[in-house]
Amino acid sequence: MTDKQWYFNTKTEQPELGMLSPSSHRMGPYKTREDALEAWKIVKERNALWAEANRKWRKWGENTPSDGRDDGFDDRDD
């Protein structure tokens, strides 16, 4: 039994068992060959999640007071 993990070669678009190709052409590791074959799908899904998180982060920043405080206090004696 081997404990090597699967990688996806972005140049050949083929899965590889172990780190065979240069890191600039390799995504992974993945637990299975099938997961490695789904590398582009996984990347697209993660990018979509990160884009949504960034959108929420930027929107949150728009609601931050100009003094940079985010604790809900505005130093007024109401």
pLDDT in tens, 10-43: 999 999 999 999 999 999 999 999 999 999 999 9
Q: What is the mean pLDDT of residues 54-65?
A: 81
**What are the pLDDT digits (tens) for 43-56?**
999 999 999 999 99
Q: Side chain identity at 43, as an amino acid letter?
A: V
Tally of residues, the chain: 78
| Whether the model pTM is above 0.85 | no
DSSP string covering 31-56: SSHHHHHTHHHHHHHHHHHHHHHHHH
Alpha carbon 24 to its chain's center: 17
